[in-house]
Chains A and B, each alone.
Chain A
Amino acid sequence: MAETKENYDLTPRVAPNLDRHLVFPILEFLQERQLYPDEQILKFKIELLNKTNMVDYAMDIHKSLYHTEDAPQDMVERRAEVVARLKSLEEAAAPLVTFLLNPNAVQELRADKQYNLQMLKERYQIGPDQIEALYQYAKFQFECGNYSGAADYLYQYRTLCSNLERSLSALWGKLASEILMQNWDIALEELNRVKEIIDSKSFASPLNQVQNRIWLMHWGLYIFFNHENGRTQIIDLFIQDKYMNAIQTSAPHLLRYLATAFIVNKRRRPQLKEFIKVIQQEHYSYKDPIVEFLACVFVNYDFDGAQRKMKECEEVIVNDPFLGKRVEDGNFSTVPLKDEFLENARLFIFETYCRIHQRIDMGVLAEKLNLNYEEAERWIVNLIRTSKLDAKIDSESGTVIMEPTQPNVHEQLVNHTKALSGRTYKLVTQLLEHSQGQAAR
């Protein structure tokens, strides 16, 4: 079982697409879930930290890993180095920082970037060098783990920066900071901003653009599964052709999150059909219980298989850093997404099942839904009551009987002809436009 758990763990595939700092929450989660030996995770953490400036943190981990009190020499040295660099950067950025800290001065800034630059230069002797220093300083702050400071400085930097390339990386930095501070609303705004830039900017090669999109999607995972509206957002973002292409070419593991979002979210049913096609195409390149569950229900109509997959899905969700977020409720913690997922998955199975049956034994149904008999009955009654299901329960034989869903002939005819007038109308408009266009020429 442990093996399969690791198989479903996407960390190795997700991590390369994240910022170093963004990997920490995942590692924390893994540590908590005890999927890997503690030592391994700690080692990995140190490795991660080596490239960042969070030396103190690295020392702590080192101590707990090797149960010693003294930190290795190179770490100590590095610490001194980092502190020194921080000092020098601080000095370099000082004029601008003091300016920004002065609320009166800040009010002098206007919406016009050109004017601001001019003004800074003339009145405060702040040139491009200082602005550049601000960026470096912000970056350093971020690397030291001071995310809120970094976010502030980067925000300021963006208002002053004229270099598009720099501006984009500042934006990425801001996004990462907001995610790490868990300001989901702001993070979502930043995300959309980055997305706009990616879509509009011309990249050196299409490959770069795709890579940027993939980063964006990965980073977005934090937001989407924490923001209240995220589950709709994720679908809207991922299902776009460009992003779907990126997923298919380079990051098929993202299908898991999209699939989960589809199952949990009822509002995006129309797009589901499209998604099923993608699943069919990609089934050779990526396998995942959640994706397979959808395939079972909508491609193979294998309900027993779907039921089996449902159990696996539970496992996957609990162990996924993005999906398995816990909510502490008094003494015991729950994974809200899991319950939601199971409920909706059940509904999926049931819906499809009902479409092709006219009489179903309650016992079998209960089994298929992973419920006991009474629960199942209650569940179905609820569905009938909320008129989601056109059926009756025959208590005597213990069956559910579907009302025949014969499509009405009139309805069919209406459906067939409904679009015709609209189409014709459109055609005429087109024709007119065309002829006008020709006449104008």
Chain B
Amino acid sequence: MTSRFFAQGASDSEDESDYEEEITEVQNNIDSRYLEGGSDDDDDTDTKRVVKPAKDKRFEEMTHTVEQMKNAMKINDWVSLQENFDKVNKQLEKVMRITEAVKAPGLYIKTLVLLEDFLNEALANKEAKKKMSPSNSKALNAMRQKLKKNNKQYEEDINKYREAPEVEDENEGEDDEEEESEFEDDVSLEDVVVAPVDEPVEDNRWETMKNKGEREMEKLLSKDPKEITWEWVNQKFKEIVAARGKKGTARFELVDQLTHLTKIAKTPAQKLEILFSVISAQFDVNPGLSGHMPIKVWKKCVLNMLTILDILVKYSNIVVDDTIEPDENESSKPADYDGKVRVWGNLVAFIERIDTEFFKSLQSIDPHTREYVERLRDEPMFLALAQNIQDYFERMGDFKSAAKVALRRVESIYYKPQEVYEAMRKLAELAEEDEDAEEGEEENGPPSSFIVVPEVVPRKPTFPESGRAMMDLLVSLIYRNGDERTKARAMLCDIYHHALMDNFGTARDLLLMSHLQDNIQHMDISTQILFNRTMAQLGLCAFRVGMITESHSCLSELYSGQRVRELLAQGVSQSRYHEKTPEQERMERRRQMPYHMHLNLELLEAVHLIGAMLLEVPNMAANSLEARRRVISKNFRRLLEISERQAFNAPPENVRDHVMAATRALTKGDFQTAFEVLNSLEVWRLLKNRDSILEMVKARIKEEALRTYLFTYSSSYESLSLDQLAKMFDISKALVHSIVSKMMINEELHASWDQPTQCIVFHEVQHSRLQSLAFQLTEKLSVLAESNERAMESRTGGGGLDLSSRRRDNNQDYAGAASGGGKWQDNMNYGQGRQGNRSGYGGRSSGQNGQPRDWSGQNRGGGYVGRAGSVNRGGMQMDGSSRMVNLNRGGRP
């Protein structure tokens, strides 16, 4: 690739030979490797425009440093050389990150070669070495070690460069002709003269290594089939495995060799053993944690796994185990051996790794490309494998492992709505046919193996009709057999899926009964992310079914900070106040959800803000005169304040602006405008039954407009007729009657109906100065008593069970919040939340108007056996952000 580029570059850069140009070339070259089918025959004018300043800058910096290094070499200044070397390494990192390249740029490699040569020369020249100043010689030694270490990474590139340095020189030489060529000559001359001993040795070593690999392969291939015995295969296998992970072992070759070995394996057990190694080797193909396994390798890996299963199913006397150290010659037992044959291996670990690799590949592929879609199509393949493995485990009676595999399956379908599920089902059926054809061809190619394993295991995943059915099946298996974490995750997925299907009631019950809210803090981060996603989906679900209060209480925590993206692992949010370490950043990037699993953030925000608006606007109107205002959504209030501060309001652009505009209209009771503004939001098209939802939103807006109107203007009326109200807000009389009645009962509105005339008659409640003062006094007294109790409670440590139960009577949910005595005890809501944080959730969760409910798997087989404690089943007011999962914790070990 490189040489091709350079060759091309040489011909192209005749007239415009500046650095920019060359970098672009490099860029292009790299890009084209990613963009499949990206045209190689780029014209210069085009590429030039593409150049990005940031990349330029990095490259310029790098070349600058390289210049400096060259200068340092000239004067034999090892100290500055060392400094510059470090610098160039750092810059390399940046360049690589910006260009997203896998390979180091040629410039860097060239420098490495120069350095190496220069170093060898310096080492060889013992006299000069003696003459050096102590600091200089110290730096020289340090440099030697560093370089050795560093060069190992780029061994291949360096060798390539050494093989064809002229091409590169030709290309680069043009840029800084005088200095460079002079220097180059110098070096090459010295290369030949001074360091002939060292140089060829290394070259040779590499040569032999490569040859060895090839020879090995040839040996394997040329071996006469008749001569192959079990011992021979076993020995070869050991040899190859021993080479694994060693320096200089080409990973792909290892895989190839092993694959060949599987073909000539003598017994099924041996074949199995070798296949396990093949898969491990395939996992090793991609070093490091950040990248993902090449897709081709991944696919082969899956096929290998299927073959393993074939063997296992066919020869049921073979047992895979990773606990016991197997006997040396265990695998020598022939196919018709009766007893048990133990082979070392861990299918669960493999399938989990395969899943993780799949996930990682989706993370790193750009979601807007075709590649991503192509990659997604591989999912049924994985599901088929997982299904087979699960079946296998179930047959073997290893339900624990089966549960683990089932969880993987659950996690790959829980976020799919029925339509997507259906599409996947169809795709799986279609894809299978194609694959069959392909496979057939492939099979014919290579020489047939000794152990021919028929395809016992189905290659096609079978899907039940609906996603729900599949979820139920898997989840109940997990609830019966899984461990704590598996069960918790399955439960979350289950809840998510219920919410996705608009079964709010079921989803809520499951969430509350599983006590996940209490325990989620102690779980690992990816489970916490799943929890957050579930809460978000639950909020959306509540909104879709028209339960605004519930929806808001689900989502408000998510929006209490400014970190929604981070909480849902859908992008990184920048924080102004604390810089993240690169380590943290990398961790965060590894946790990101692939694009197709994302929840739409705009929709989420819209739902949250609309919910907050519907609750907050009448609330503000009701309590506008009171000193202590009850705030339902702090976030919403803040946004509203910001938008009110503006002198002029521009037409709404984003979701937030829209809701704010709607809020302004709603405060005036103008429901028509409010709804129109919201209706113009783009995000609604993402909803399935959009019309009915909009209808619901409209109805709710009308209701809240009516309430707001009554709160705001009731003092100006002696009486109001039902007809008029109904006409004003375009609501049926019965509904108006119901709403107003509710307000009367809750004493939000001091009025009563006059039935014969169908009027609301308002009662003026005016307190005298003395009376209102007396009220204030009592209020303060009760606050005092309250804080005393809290202080006491915190000291004695939650000894106040009777206190909190008393408080339960005072607490009302949102609808009845302002009634009677509630009005001046509302602040307790928050106090209680704070207190709860201190003394643990145990006592508090039952404090909030909910019914505790001991839980024990509703109509679900064995059930997810509940943990002790009580659940707040009521309004789901999980106040305080304390329950929300904080992801930063994970950054620190």
Contact = CB atoms under 8 A, between A and B. Distances in A.
A437 to B, nearest CB: 9
A373 to B, nearest CB: 15
Contacts of A399: 755-756
Contact of B753 (A241, A248, A358): A358
Nearest to B752: A358
A406 B763 CA distance: 9
Contacts of B856: 205-207, 209-210, 249
Interface stretch (B78-86, B112-120, B448-456, B789-797): B789-797
A249 B855 contact: yes
A431 B799 CA distance: 10
Contact of B800 (A250, A300, A358, A430): A430
Nearest to B757: A359
Given A402-B752, A430-B800, A434-B799, A205 B849 contact: no
A248 to B, nearest CB: 6
A378 interface: no
B755 A427 contact: no
B738 A302 contact: yes
A361 interface: yes
A416 to B, nearest CB: 4
A417 B744 contact: no
Q: Is the interface of A mostly helix, strand, loop or mixed?
A: helix
A205 to B, nearest CB: 6
B342 interface: no
Interface in A110-133: none
Interface in B705-752: 734, 737-738, 741-742, 744-745, 752
Contact of B505 (A284, A301, A416, A423): A284
A207 B851 contact: no
B765 A406 contact: yes
B851 A417 contact: no
Interface residues of B, number: 54
Given A416-B782, A427-B788, A241 B754 contact: no
B778 interface: yes
Given A301-B737, A302-B738, A242 B785 contact: no
Contacts of B774: 413
A427 B756 CA distance: 52
Interface string A395-407: 0010100101010
A278 interface: yes
A187 B737 CA distance: 48
A249 B752 contact: no
Given A404-B763, A413-B774, A430-B799, A420 B782 contact: yes
Chain A contact residues (Cβ within 8 angstroms of B): what range? Answer: 35 or more
A409 interface: yes
A287 to B, nearest CB: 12
Interface string B756-772: 11000101010100010
A386 interface: no
Contacts of A409: 767, 771
Interface in B430-448: none
Contacts of B853: 241, 244-245, 248-249
A357 B753 contact: yes
A209 B856 CA distance: 9
B720 to A, nearest CB: 14
Nearest to B753: A357
A281 B857 contact: no
A410 to B, nearest CB: 9
Contacts of A249: 509, 513, 853, 855-856, 858
Given A356-B744, A406-B763, A427 B789 contact: yes
Given A356-B745, A409-B771, A245 B854 contact: yes
B863 A207 contact: yes
Nearest to B768: A409
Nearest to A415: B821
Contacts of A274: 851
Contacts of A406: 763, 765
A412 B796 CA distance: 33
A244 B870 CA distance: 13
Top 4 A-B residue pairs of the complex, sorted by shortest distance between their CB atoms: A301-B741, A245-B853, A206-B856, A284-B505
Interface of B: 504-505, 509, 513, 734, 737-738, 741-742, 744-745, 752-757, 761, 763, 765, 767, 771, 774-775, 778-779, 781-782, 785, 788-789, 792, 795-796, 799-800, 802, 821, 824, 849, 851-859, 863, 865-866, 873-874
17 contacts: A206-B855, A241-B851, A242-B854, A274-B851, A277-B851, A352-B745, A356-B752, A358-B752, A358-B754, A359-B753, A399-B756, A402-B752, A416-B821, A417-B782, A424-B785, A427-B789, A434-B799
Interface of A: 205-207, 209-210, 241-242, 244-245, 248-250, 274, 277-278, 281, 284-285, 300-302, 304, 352, 355-361, 364, 397, 399, 402, 404, 406, 409, 412-413, 415-417, 420, 423-424, 426-427, 430-431, 434
